[in-house]
Amino acid sequence: MALSPTRTVVSSPGKVLLCGGFLVLDRAYTGLTFGIDARIHVVVNDIPTAPGVTLSEIIVKSPQFRDAVWEYSYRQTEEDGGIHLTQLRAAASQRISRNLFVEAALGYVLTYVSTIQPARIQPASVTILADNDYYSAPSDIPCAAGSSNPPKFADFGTPLNKTNKTGLGSSAALVTAFTAALLVHYLPIEEFSLSNDQGKSILHNLAQAAHCAAQGKVGSGFDVASAVYGSCLYRRFSPSILQHHGEPASPGFAKQLKTLVEDTDPKYKWDTEIIKSAVTVPKGIRLVMCDVDCGSETPGMVKKVLAWRSANYEDAERIWKQLQKHNEELAAELVRLGQDQDDNYSALREIIFKARALIREMSQKSDVPIEPPAQTKLLDDCSNVPGVIGGVVPGAGGFDAIALLIEDRAEVLSGLRDYLQDRQADSSSSGQQVGKVNILGVREEMEGVRIEDVSMYAQWT
């Protein structure tokens, strides 16, 4: 009899950093991050083997994309190095294509499981399914904007690396859901559960470590936090926490990873702050995300802003502190509106207006297109649509998306859609053109990672 369930399904939400872009990199400041109801779903199935047959293989596939299959053998290493993965060829003639996020998450989670109950690691097939709004679909794909009755998980018909993302945090949601699904699948409920704070803390710490390893750098982590906890006010962890656990399969890595994930090292305690109660979306308001079709974002934006901050520290700190104040005011006003059931949004509009003015000042002084002129016009025009409260260029800014808070009424969304269909393309001073703008079919999501009903996924696995 199998020790683990035959099938496990876990999903995690994407994110939008509504306030706190750049600020969230510094522990002195916070970010207001919203989960969104577009999710990454991960299905884990046992691979049955005949009696006496030993198989040490994990097969990972993403059937919405072409050639998106990654096969790995796994083995326990010596000197407490944890689990070592070897990527296999599905066919002798096939070129191996790596997926760093899958590879890192798989290696980290199997190593952690091996420190608890190594015998429970059995062959498995893992299927990754992404809600359609994570990717910009060509017009002939059934899930494209404006299509009716789109499939739950569209076949995009292209390789994964040829498909344009819409900036909703797919890599963090993937790593989080992937890690959670394997933990739930392999570990007994008394060792790990998503229904309690300890389980979510273990998942958060392990997913942060794997995601940073895949990126090759220690990021702020707000996207993983949102994938685990949903909408929250977030203060980043100290980067040093993830710089002392060695490399996968190196001597002692398994013990170091277990200590990191379970937060038992007194010298490097997790100091992340995640405050769910500080974030709400009042009844009568909703978040709208718009995908902006205008080509690639300016590279190195974060590096350039941080260089400007270093060279102009006093001026930068003035702007950042004022932005932090407005970000806190925005969170507090949303909570107040929800508690008082108030429908007067004038104060909310004013806070967004003031925050955007500071973003434009930082954009101009750092010479980085955080809110470039073409996006300013787009946001101003959208804000003039009846029922639109205001909006921002989320996260680190740039040309690829806008986020709007609107009154949650059908006629407001319809009016916004009509405006966006009729508007003409605008160009920035650098010549960057803001072309077609599509409203994505997503909204805010307060809930984070969750276990799903396995019966809903049979046709895709």
329 pLDDT above the threshold of 80: yes
What's the pLDDT at 233? 96
Instruction: Give 96's pLDDT tier (boundaries 50, 70, 90).
Output: confident
4 pLDDT above the threshold of 50: no
Can you read off the two tokens belonging to residue 408?
């949650």
Q: For residue 136, what is the DSSP state?
A: -
Residue-wise pLDDT tens digits, 242-289: 988 889 999 999 999 999 999 999 999 999 999 999 999 999 999 999
Q: Has residue 32 been placed in a domain?
A: yes
- Based on the domain organization, do 162 and 238 belong to the same domain? yes
Residue-wise pLDDT tens digits, 384-437: 999 999 999 999 898 888 999 999 999 999 999 999 998 866 654 455 566 789
CB contact at 8 A, 210 and 175: yes
- Based on the domain organization, do 265 and 318 belong to the same domain? no
What's the pLDDT at 3? 44
- Based on the domain organization, do 224 and 188 belong to the same domain? yes
CATH number at 15 reads 3.30.230.10
Containing structural domain, residue 354: 280-445
What's the pLDDT at 269? 95
Using a 10 angstrom Cβ sphere, with 0-12 exposed, 13-18 middle and 19 or more buried, the burial of residue 344 is exposed
Q: Has residue 1 been placed in a domain?
A: no
Residue-wise pLDDT tens digits, 12-46: 999 999 999 999 999 999 999 999 999 999 999 99
- Based on the domain organization, do 111 and 123 belong to the same domain? yes
- Based on the domain organization, do 210 and 289 belong to the same domain? no
- Based on the domain organization, do 184 and 312 belong to the same domain? no
Q: Has residue 2 been placed in a domain?
A: no
pTM value > 0.95: no
Instruction: Give 210's pLDDT tier (boundaries 50, 70, 90).
Output: very high
Give the SS3 label for residue 362.
helix
Q: Closest Cα partner for 245 from 119, 111, 120, 99?
A: 111
Interatomic CA distance for residues 93 and 309, integer angstroms: 51
For the chain, give the mean pLDDT: 91
Q: How many domains does the chain have?
A: 2
- Based on the domain organization, do 272 and 286 belong to the same domain? no
- Based on the domain organization, do 130 and 76 belong to the same domain? yes
Q: What is the mean pLDDT of residues 76-98?
A: 86
Using a 10 angstrom Cβ sphere, with 0-12 exposed, 13-18 middle and 19 or more buried, the burial of residue 115 is middle
Q: Has residue 196 been placed in a domain?
A: yes
CATH number at 399 reads 3.30.70.890
Instruction: Give 359's pLDDT tier (boundaries 50, 70, 90).
Output: very high
- Based on the domain organization, do 152 and 14 belong to the same domain? yes
- Based on the domain organization, do 196 and 270 belong to the same domain? yes
Can you read off the two tokens belonging to residue 118?
């190594």
- Based on the domain organization, do 239 and 92 belong to the same domain? yes
Q: Has residue 66 been placed in a domain?
A: yes
Q: For residue 460, what is the DSSP state?
A: G
Return the bridge partners of 383, or none.
Answer: none
Q: Has residue 429 been placed in a domain?
A: yes
Interatomic CA distance for residues 20 and 448, integer angstroms: 20
- Based on the domain organization, do 45 and 190 belong to the same domain? yes
Q: For residue 165, what is the DSSP state?
A: B
Can you read off the two tokens belonging to residue 200?
């979510």
Q: Calculate the alpha carbon distances from 380 to 124, 353, 392, 412, 453 in Å.
A: 51, 10, 10, 16, 42
